[in-house]
Structure 1
Amino acid sequence: MYNFKNDYSEGAHPNILTKLIETNFVQQLGYGEDEYGIEAKEVLKEKIKNPHATIHFLSCGTQTNLIVISFLLRVHEAVISAKTGHISANETGSIEATGHKVIAVETEDGKLRPSDIQNALKEYALKPHVVKPRMVYISNSTEIGTIYTKSELEDLSSCCKTNNLLLYLDGARLGHALMAQNNDMTLADIARLTDIFYIGGTKNGALLGEAVIFSTPELAFDFEYVLKQKGAMLAKGRLLAIQFLELFRHDLYFDLAKHANTMAMKIVDAVQSKGFSFLTNSTTNQIFPILPKDVIQKLNENYLFYVWKEIDDDHAAIRLITSWATDEKNVDAFIADLRSL
């Protein structure tokens, strides 16, 4: 059985494991004061072209979202998200558990537009009887594989500034978005157009870890206190820092994301050649082909994947995810089985 359910089934890229072994007996200061963390932050600041950014390394995406959002919002403030957004659909109510409402917006493609923001602001205008929208949460790539263009993010950024809203970008799969064939943005564009974002390592070659970046350092004032209080400040912070240093020093991060996308697009071409359609127009490593249910049942004998959405009595959409480690021979085997059915 080959697993297309997620992009974190494997451990870590060998370069990272080698570097962890090489540095294993080198003594370092703890809690993010190690030399690898200092160097990794400088490398990332160069990549985003913002020498004044504040950067912290956390363990996972849900932890990052929970801590960042609850840190930045006051007790009466809320965050606007697409209904498909990770904080709305996949984090067990973690944001609401901190006392902050997630204002979920229906979208067709997982992406928020300025009109969605304006509608939410109108809906929650009866102050002080309703929560106050203060943050906009987006994901790139989105939870359904789509990506934002530069003009779309510019429009969102402008809308947020006009309405005094913070713009926070979940980058769990940011590498896949930036390496998509139709992408027109860079890391520097992301840093310029958002207030806070994070770069996901867990889903792109790291053992674990996310790098949260405050483009405006004033927003990060006292953030380290909250990290410590919430148990997110690792004594062995070097373990996260070394991984990001290895991923970004020579752009390995982008190479791995490009491979994952290339494997997904190979499956896309095969699905289209069979005359099947897709639930979303994804150009990243998450794809959602719509297939006959009998074909899905046969494929499930050799491959793991999620049946994402029922389309009708005879068809359903499945989710296939390729990763930095997906071997092309497994993709070719899946395509051969699909064609034979």
Structure 2
Amino acid sequence: MKYLFRNDYSFGAHPKVMDAVCAVNLEGNWGYGDDQYTARAKDRIREVCGCPDAMVEFLIGGTQTNVVACSFLLKPWEAAICPDSGHLNGHEVGAFEATGHKILTVPATPEGKITPDMLPPLLELHQDPHLTKPGLVYISNSTENGAVYTKAELTALSEFCHKNGLLLFADGARLGAALTSDANDLTLPEFAHLVDAFYIGGTKNGAMFGEALVITRPELTDGFFRMKKRMGAVMEKGWIQGVTFLTLFEDDLYFKMARQGNEMAARLQNGLKAKGWTLWVESPTNQVFAVIPNQVKPKVDEVCDCEVWCPYDESHTVIRFVTCFHTTQADVDGLLAALPNL
């Protein structure tokens, strides 16, 4: 048996999501999100975020949401500040920069975070009117390295951004994993009120596809639907996303699925350490990073699909295992039994 731990979107959707979509499949609904399910889903998200005046819009995937939202929030001469490991910079083929906006990178912490003390030199440099003006700080929660921002960290970054005229945008592709992590001390409403815009990732947490973009400040939202349409991001059958996100936020399903992924990742991480494996970082979410000798990689490939993350040195490689809502204890224990001791 070969185990699948390559990412958290290898499986379709939670059965409750599939059942909900099938139940209204031939009902007939207005398109472009002008339907009752989308309206109810937006209201529900405003409720769980504690942001009654927020704009909520549904998009298809993470890259699309990052590009549409960040380019909408910035003036044409403004740039986004991003950790060098950030998805916007490192994994989206210049999609954001293709809109005409520049990415200004700063070296991330080993956890993949930005801290306020990293930013003043960059802001000082870009006072020159011949350079792009920083207008937005992009972060991910959880980060690309599996870490989460604490309340103190996010508060400090939020206060710095607002003091210096910067918007704070959070990539929430794995927001469920972050908010259900044992390392997290933020509620969803607290998180929402510390950022200017973020999205609730569905693709990587039990939805067939879809992200819910939340812009918490109404004064920033004028014309967003037109921008969304202009960039080809409006889905004709928008009611599917409405039904999906209504289901995700019934009976705590969204957080239950994320918690399942985290718990299985912790079991895998502890099991690897017990087998003598070295971790690249200690991750409190659903991504597990391990350092292995290069000669061991073929043995891993025989029993598991995972991802090569980065070189470690000439003779070692960092690989990544990812768990999800569909990962079971039997999957983890079976993989651990099949992997070699190191």
Q: TM-score, normalised by structure 1?
A: 0.97
Mapped to 2, the partners of 1:215 and 1:240 lie a distance apart of 20
Q: State the match for 1:185 in structure 2.
A: 186
Q: Helix, strand or coil: the match of 1:189?
A: helix
* Deviation per residue, 1:87-130 (Å, 9 max, x gap): 1001110111111110111122210000112232123222x111
Q: Check conservation: 1:291, 1:318, Cα contact below 8 A.
A: yes
Provide the residue aligned with 1:297 in structure 2: 298
Cα contact 1:305–1:319 (8 A) shared by 2: yes
Q: CA deviation at 1:38?
A: 1.0
1:85 and 1:306 mapped to 2: Cα distance?
17
Q: Say if 1:57 and 1:211, in contact at 8 Å, map to a contact too.
A: yes
| Alignment match, 1:314 | 315
Aligned partners of 2:149 and 2:44: how far apart in 1?
25
Alignment of 1:204-219 (within 5 A): 204-219=205-220
Could you list the per-position Cα deviations for residues 195-215 of structure 1 after superposition, in whole angstroms to 9, with x for gaps in the alignment? 000000000000000000011
Aligned residue pairs total 340
Please name the residue that 1:106 is paired with: 107
In 1, are the aligned partners of 2:275 and 2:341 still within 8 Å (CA)?
no
Alignment RMSD: 1.3
Q: Distance in 1 between matches of 2:307 and 2:220?
A: 38
| Counterpart residue identity of residue 247, structure 1 | L
Alignment partners' CA distance in 2, 1:231 and 1:211: 16
Structure 1, residues 277-323: CA drift from partner, whole Å, max 9, x if none? 32222111111111222333211111111222222333221111111
Q: Which runs of 5+ in 2 are unaligned?
A: none
Instruction: Give me the whole-angstrom Cα distance separating, in 2, the residues matched to 1:34 and 1:325.
Output: 30
Matched position secondary structure for 2:173: coil
Secondary structure of the 1:319 match is: strand
**Shift, 1:336, TM fit:** 0.8
1:19 aligns with 2:12: no
Whether 1:86 aligns to 2:87 is yes
SS at structure 1 position matched to 2:276: coil
Q: Is the 8 A contact 1:146 1:280 kept in 2?
A: no
What is residue 125 of structure 2 aligned with on the other side?
Answer: 123
| 1:80 and 1:135 in contact (8 A); partners too | yes
5+ residue gaps, structure 1, are none
Q: 1:165 to 1:19 in 2, by over 3 A?
A: same
Correspondence for 1:221: 222
Q: Distance in 2 between matches of 1:311 and 1:206?
A: 34
Measure the CA separation in 1 of the matches of 2:105 and 2:231: 26
Structure 2 Cα separation of the partners of residues 238 and 52 of structure 1: 22
What letter is aligned with 1:177?
A
Identity %: 44
Structure 1 residue 21: Cα displacement: 1.0
Residues 70, 95 of structure 1: 8 Å contact kept: yes
Q: CA deviation at 1:146?
A: 0.8
Q: Greater shift after overlay, 173-182 or 307-316? A: 307-316
> Equivalent residues in 2 for 1:31-42 (5 A)?
31-42=32-43
Q: Please name the residue that 1:172 is paired with.
A: 173
Higher mean C-alpha displacement, 323-332 vs 57-66: 323-332
**One-letter amino acid matched to 2:52:** P
Secondary structure in structure 2 of the residue aligned to 1:288:
strand
3-state secondary structure, aligned to 2:280 = coil
Letter in 2 for 1:112: I
- Superposed displacement of residue 67, structure 1: 0.6
Cα contact 1:58–1:212 (8 A) shared by 2:
yes
2:139 is paired with a residue of what secondary structure? strand
Which residue matches 1:242?
243
Inter-partner Cα distance in structure 2 for 1:103 and 1:3:
35
Any conservation in 2 of the 1:80–1:102 contact (CA below 8 Å)? yes
Letter aligned with residue 121 of structure 1 = L
When normalised by structure 2's length, the TM-score is 0.96
- Secondary structure of residue in 2 paired with 1:331: helix
Q: CA contact under 8 A between 2:57 and 2:214: conserved in structure 1?
A: yes
Q: Which moved more, 1:234-243 or 1:151-160?
A: 234-243
Q: State which drifts further: 275-284 or 11-20.
A: 275-284
Note the alpha carbon deviations across 1:63-99, whole angstroms, 9 max, x for none.
1111111111111100000001011001110111111
8 A Cα contact 1:43 1:249, kept in partner: no
Contact 1:8–1:203 under 8 Å retained in 2: yes
- Tell me the amino acid that sits aligned with residue 290 of structure 2: P
Instruction: Give 3-state SS (helix, strand or coil) of 1:104's partner.
Output: strand
Higher mean C-alpha deviation, range 145-154 or range 278-287: 278-287
Q: Contact conserved, 2:196 with 2:217, CA < 8 A, in 1?
A: yes
- Report what 1:284 is aligned to: 285
User: Corresponding residue for 1:150?
Assistant: 151
| C-alpha distance after superposition, 1:232-278 (max 9, x if no partner) | 11221101111100001221000000111111111110122233332
Counterpart-to-counterpart distance in 2, 1:338 and 1:11: 26
Shift of 1:340: 5.0
